[in-house]
Amino acid sequence: MFILFFVCWIVFNQAFTLEIAIFGVVLAALMLAFVCKFMDYSIKKDFVLLKKFPAMLAYAFVLICEIVKANFNLFRLFFLHSKDKREPVMVTFESKLKTRTARVFLANAITLTPGTITVKVKGNKLTIHCYDKSLAEGLDNTIFEKKLLKLEEGWD
């Protein structure tokens, strides 16, 4: 968090001089102290985040790959199949994710993937609209959920 505050200070100043850097270090330290004291933040969270960073990058890479694959799949469905063969479907499934944040990430990943839209998230249940029933296959056991389950391990 300290580094984030410091980088923001430098970006907002649009320059890097010794005076700006020294003042930025002091200001970033004061901001971090304020956040820790009044906003229930802990420096331990920075270390957990740093430890999970490679897994977060892997999740982002998987998300981008799945979006590209879904684009090709949707292109195939849209242009190569006749309109009468398409069967839109609503699917509800229960997620194994424990935290609300992880479920929101899962819902957003599903929505970002072309051909699927998360309609509702209530508790552990997600309702997804799929452009075709073939897109609904395996929604209850996606690679997104597997990656998010790994990210949830050890998260406070």
* CA-closest candidate to residue 131, choices 101, 91, 80: 91
Residue 125 above 90 pLDDT? yes
Higher pLDDT, 108 or 40: 108
Residue 154 above 70 pLDDT? no
CA distance 118 to 86: 19
Q: Which own/partner contact pairs does 25-32 have at CB distance under 8 Å and 24+ positions apart?
A: 28/2, 28/3, 29/2, 31/5, 32/1, 32/2, 32/5
Q: Rg of the chain over CA atoms, in angstroms?
A: 21
| Complete DSSP assignment for the chain | -HHHHHHHHHHHHT---HHHHHHHHHHHHHHHHHHHHHS---HHHHHHHHHHHHHHHHHHHHHHHHHHHHHHHHHHHHHHS-GGG---EEEEEE----SHHHHHHHHHHHHHSTTEEEEEEETTEEEEEESSGGGGTTGGG-HHHHHHHHHHTT--
Residue 61's pLDDT band (boundaries 50, 70, 90)? very high
Both structure tokens of 130: 């799929």
- 67-93 per-position pLDDT tens digit: 999 899 888 888 877 677 778 899 999
For the chain, percent of residues with pLDDT exceeding 90: 42
pLDDT of residue 155: 64
Question: Is residue 21 within 8 Å of 7, Cβ to Cβ?
Answer: no
pLDDT of residue 156: 52
What is the amino acid identity at position 89?
Answer: V
